[in-house]
Amino acid sequence: MAIAIVDYGMGNLHSVGKAVERLGYEALVTGDREAILGAAGVILPGVGAFGDAMEHLRESGLDAVVKEAAAGSKPLLGICLGMQLLFSSSEEHGEHEGLNILPGKVVRFAPGELKVPHMGWNRLEFLQPESPLLAGLDAGHVYFVHSYHAVTEVQSDLLAVTDYGHPVTAIVGRGSNFGMQFHPEKSGELGMKLLGNFLALT
Q: For residue 25, how far is the Cα from the chain centroid?
A: 19
**Alpha-carbon gap, residue 181 to 64, rounded angstroms:** 22
Is 34 a residue of the active site?
Answer: no
Strand order in the sheet with 118-126: 27-30, 3-6, 41-44, 76-79, 177-180, 167-174, 158-163, 118-126, 141-146
Q: Which is the catalytic residue, given 92, 93, 185, 189?
A: 185
Q: Which is the catalytic residue, given 56, 80, 96, 149?
A: 80
Q: Which is the catalytic residue, given 14, 56, 183, 189?
A: 183
**Alpha-carbon gap, residue 68 to 76, rounded angstroms:** 11
**Alpha-carbon gap, residue 164 to 154, rounded angstroms:** 21
Is 80 a residue of the active site?
Answer: yes
Are 42 and 75 in contact, with CB atoms under 8 Å apart? yes
Is 185 a residue of the active site?
Answer: yes
- The residues carrying an active-site annotation are 80, 183, 185
